[in-house]
A and B are shown apart, each in its own frame.
Chain A
Amino acid sequence: MPRRSSVRSGKADRVLPGDAEERERIRNWFRLDVIILGGVILVVAYLAVTPLAMLLYGSLRSGFLVGDGEFTFANYVLAYTDREFYALLFNSLVYALGVSFLTFLIGTALAWICERTNTPGQRLFAMMAVTNYIIPGVLLTISWILLLSPRIGFFNTVLMKLFGLSEPPLTIYSYWGMIWTASLHLYPLTFLMMSAAFRSMDGSLEEAAWTAGASHLGCLRQITLKILRPAVFSGVLILFVRGIESFEVPALIGIPARIFVFTTKIYEAASGFPPALGLAGANAATLLLISILGVYLYQRLAVREGSFATITGKGYRPRVIDLGRWKYLVSAGCALFFIITLLLPALALLGTSFSGYLVALSPEAFKNFSLAEYRFVLSYPIITRAFRNSLILAAGSATAVMFLTSIIAWITVRTQIRGKWMLDALAFSPIAIPGVIMGISMIFVYLTLPIPIYGTLWILLVAYVTLYMPYGIRVASATMLQIHRELEEASTTSGASWTQTFFRIVLPLLLPGFFAGWIYIAIISLRELSASIFLVGQGTEVLSTVVFALWDSGNITAVAALGVLMTLMLVAAALVIQRWQRRLGILRE
């Protein structure tokens, strides 16, 4: 899209010389515009820069909270000379690599089946494939602990009975357990990315291969995946970053399995007594470096991807592959996959929520039927308060993010302000900040600066807004690009001020995209755990931290009951959104 005229040149174009009134109005318009834009730039810069600056500052000081503070490299020395450090690095890399590959396998296989084949039930499968992303990671992890525990896990008891084993064959407390659980949580991302890639790829090379007599599988391996290589690489890379920054699985499974990764080490150092915040900061800086490197490479790849130009705007859909009789087998395989990964975890939660204490998932678990845990969950003030807090934060962060990013998108798409790319980059930069790091940085910031928001919902809101700004900016820019500037020009020529134009023309046009982004951010805010866990206090508990705390205190039956309620709530919300989206025809990000 051409971006011919800027705000400034637009003014020059239209103002007739001698028309003093008009000039005056434009001057005012221009001034307010500068105030709002300037304000937004300041806010974004503050949000993106202070956490990292203070993280660096905190990691370079001794005795944060305890003892006298002075400038020191001791935290880094301590972190890098700790014999545990290399184990941490190794564990983190193995875990993140495992997650990215397994996630890639599951996501791509499902995407291929749903997009490119004539497998019966593929539409249902496509819907189920994204369901796991809605469910908070902490709940998914807990349900897999219930299923794969060495002695009481459902799979182990079944396998032991079937094959007459004396020892449980599986355990969740291992690398495999961690990778499996995290992959089940993250594969919807690969699924969505690969589905989009499969849908829009150029099919002519495949046609050529088939004509030359290649088999379907051979074609998939040798042609299709090679065409999609840029998408594949960047997908694996971004999942590596997601894996290395994940917290739920390493905390709930890794710690008991004695497999420590960066995120859990940071959490342990920061929350134990005496708190070693400096050491946590030093480890956080290392993790951040890895994450930034990953995101940077991803961006580079994404740019290069354009040069392959295998995904074009041709009005052309790749051919649907007829699997013949195999399609029933594939369909049954998918059904089994979803029974194992969706139905059984849900049943495990449900079974536990109905029994008085932790039991193995078996018919007996349902014999002890009682609704006591639900009564407890619904009557316990902290839990009801957490429901309220979570909803407030989800709505607040979604609104703030979309509002901020709409203005930023307007600036970057519509104006020629110098250095606007920097604004875009600033707003997008928190994508590389893991939640754990955001949590610890917020502590550094608000225990140092005289802004009294520690211990209030505001600190959580600031953390969420910063973390989710990147998602907002992507949606807002994409939407903004679709709106032609004529509409704004029409508004200004009819004498509307900049604010009037923005609020009465631009925002309403942005609304559908705005909504889609709003809902997405609200859902991911509801799931957020890794930053919140550092920041919640009395009165500011959120749902995910309450689940974590209930699990921590061993109150597993209450966790299960709360989990069932949360899952119902989120799935209901997702269904409403889906219907809504269809009606509004919102673009799907």
Chain B
Amino acid sequence: MVVRILTLFFLLTFFLFSSSLRAQESGALEEGAGKEGRLNLYGSIREDEAKAIFDTFEKKYPKVKIDYFRSSEDKLVSKILAEAAAKTYNFDVLITTAAYHLKKLGMALKWTPPSAAGIRKDLTDPEGMTTPVYINTNVIQYNTNLVQKADIPKSYEDLALPKWKGKLCLEDTDFEWFTELQDVMGKEKALNLFKKISANQPAVRNGHGLISDLVAAGECPIAINNYGNQVARAQKKNAPTDFVAINPVVTIVAPAVVSKNAPHPNAAKLYVNWITSKEGQEFIVKNGGRIPVRADVEADPPRLTKGLKLRVAKNLEGKELTDAQALFRQIWQGR
């Protein structure tokens, strides 16, 4: 009994102490960020979705104004590299799937936000340099008006059926999905399957939001691969589209990286802490159908992750990446 009371007491003090420590840290961050007054955020979330997120953040922290630079993941890293070569250190935070490249390039700050404690352990970075913000699940997206119930593909093999000729599309940077499926199925089997699907002449386009819009508009009845959250966002706008998830579902983590040379380091940390907090995660789910990284926040609709076997894709770097790119282009774009 005494032991139990003692333990409880001990835990309670520890909890109080640690939470006050956290409060202290975020208080200091908020003050520092207020003085900096600005945050240069680089990311891939679409402008219309991002704007609502920033408005919410700025309402909570009115002293910080977010300045956003949007581009696709690879171009962002390439841009940051060029800026570093010109010695203009502009970005504070980068949030995109390719952000992990900054670790190797020596531009990432080693820092973990207090709110990271609530993030699912299978998603976190053991080196503590990147903080997961949202995940992208790789699913088949289709147009519900143009694909009859009976025709809904149940496997990737179904996409090789000749009836889909000229009706498929694919995003041109889905290298992780492409590589993971080779690991899952065996390289030869996967490549054979891809070649068969490629014979249906999928339109290869850039941008997952664009692919989702094309499917919703009926320009492309089925996307061989797209992000689950894009489908969820389109559904929120009542667009006629849905998805099929094939286990194991290749999952890509989009992490936040704070710049080592951030001009507004406190604002950067304040933002990363907020976006990974319960409040921030609930907002990005409600706002744009993003799939959360916290264990205590549920995806909307829950079937985006519930009951699925998520397989976190490994980060491609160096030769592995360039080889994957070359093979991808050879198979899907015939070049």
Contacts and interface: CB of A to CB of B under 8 A. Distances in A.
Interface of A: 65-66, 84, 87, 149-152, 167, 173, 255-256, 258, 260, 270-275, 356-360, 376, 380-382, 443, 446-447, 452, 454-455, 537-539, 549-556, 558
Given A150-B166, A271-B75, 19 more contacts: A65-B81, A65-B85, A255-B172, A256-B204, A271-B78, A271-B79, A273-B98, A275-B82, A357-B234, A357-B237, A358-B217, A360-B218, A376-B48, A454-B83, A538-B68, A538-B90, A552-B207, A554-B209, A556-B213
Contacts, number: 138
Given A273-B75, A274-B322, A452 B81 contact: no
Nearest to B214: A358
Contacts of A358: 213-214, 216-217, 219
B206 interface: yes
Given A452-B88, A538-B69, A272 B210 contact: no
A555 B87 CA distance: 32
Per CB-CB distance, the 8 closest pairs between chain A and chain B, nearest first, are A554-B209, A554-B210, A454-B86, A538-B69, A273-B74, A358-B217, A275-B78, A455-B88
Contacts of A84: 335
Contacts of B219: 149-152, 358
Contacts of A538: 40, 42, 67-69, 90-91
Contacts of A555: 46-48, 209
Interface in B222-270: 234, 237, 239
Contact of A258 (B210, B322, B334): B334
B217 A553 contact: no
Contacts of B334: 258
A455 B44 CA distance: 19
Nearest to B209: A554
A272 B173 CA distance: 10
Given A65-B82, A382-B47, A255 B71 contact: no
How big is the B interface, by class? 35 or more
A272 B237 contact: no
A258 B67 CA distance: 35
A553 B72 CA distance: 8
A495 to B, nearest CB: 50
A549 B71 contact: yes
Contacts of A152: 217-219
Contacts of B82: 65, 275, 443, 447, 454
A357 B46 contact: no
Contacts of A357: 213, 216-217, 234, 237, 239
Nearest to A446: B86
Contacts of B42: 538
B211 to A, nearest CB: 7
B181 interface: no
Contact of B72 (A66, A167, A550, A552): A552
A461 to B, nearest CB: 16
Contacts of B277: none
A196 to B, nearest CB: 41
B310 interface: no
B217 A380 contact: no
Contacts of A549: 70-71
B290 interface: no
B101 interface: yes
Interface string B298-323: 00000000000000000000000110
A553 B207 CA distance: 6
A87 B78 CA distance: 26
30 contacts: A150-B166, A151-B218, A151-B219, A152-B218, A255-B205, A258-B204, A258-B333, A271-B75, A272-B75, A273-B73, A357-B217, A357-B239, A358-B214, A358-B219, A380-B51, A382-B70, A446-B86, A452-B86, A454-B83, A455-B88, A537-B79, A537-B90, A538-B68, A538-B91, A552-B71, A552-B72, A552-B210, A555-B46, A555-B47, A556-B210
Interface string B32-61: 000000001010101110010000000000
B77 interface: yes
B199 interface: no
Given A256-B205, A357-B217, A454-B83, A550 B90 contact: no
Given A260-B335, A538-B40, A553-B207, A66 B217 contact: no
Contacts of A455: 83, 86, 88, 90
B212 interface: yes
B190 interface: no
B87 to A, nearest CB: 7
Contacts of B40: 538
